[in-house]
Structure 1
Amino acid sequence: MDSRPSTLQAARCGHCHGYSYPANVPGCRHCGAPAEALDAVDCMGPVPLRNVITVHAPLAPGLAVPAIIGEVELCPGLVEEVRIDAENETAVPPGTPVRPVWIDDENGGGWIFRAASAEAVPLQENV
């Protein structure tokens, strides 16, 4: 059975209407409401890329470097740092619409973001 997620999701609080990530958080990061007060919402974009940078140090386990990291607003007020799949950061300047895509890898897989116009382009592997 395929266990990979089909949709990137966040959690929306039924009390304060704030958003938290990931969707399975133990409670609202804004008001502290318990997980039972949260509803999963889809975050499939496209969303504008706010900032982008190339990092040359492995900031997280399994992160191949150099890596392009961007900042996106998944939901109103929910800004996250995400991995960007692009040849280089000049190919995805701030304002570029990006969309999440699940990739399988040796660490179990994860979400990357690609320029919305480049969704059909295969993942650029770091060599």
Structure 2
Amino acid sequence: MHSKIKTAELELLASTTRSNAERVGELLHPEFVEVGRSGRRWTRGEVIRALSREDRRPTPEADEWAFADLAPDLVLVTYRLRAGTRQSRHASVWDTSAPALRLRYHQGTVIPLEFQ
């Protein structure tokens, strides 16, 4: 299951997926919430709209993957993203109760230069 979650996370990082509102909607749980790197709280609809308008960009590099089963149908995944000189840490909670994985919660935090 963890490899499927990692594949879904990586898919959400790709511009081809991000610009496809239908696909993003399939991956996000109806009650999805995100806390962005800025601290802003995003709803599912806001994220889908924002990503569909986002400029194409290189896919950031992801590493330091870790997975923790929180409950029978919930998995926490954490990882680090690197895009140029910018780095951030991310945490997602995936709902695995349905046949299709759905992202329930996501949070990103910028890593200050002094901690990179």
**Higher normalized contact order (CA 8 Å, seq sep 6+, divided by chain length):** 2
TM-score of the two chains, using structure 1 as the length reference: 0.27
Higher Cα radius of gyration? 1
Structure ranking higher in helix proportion: 2
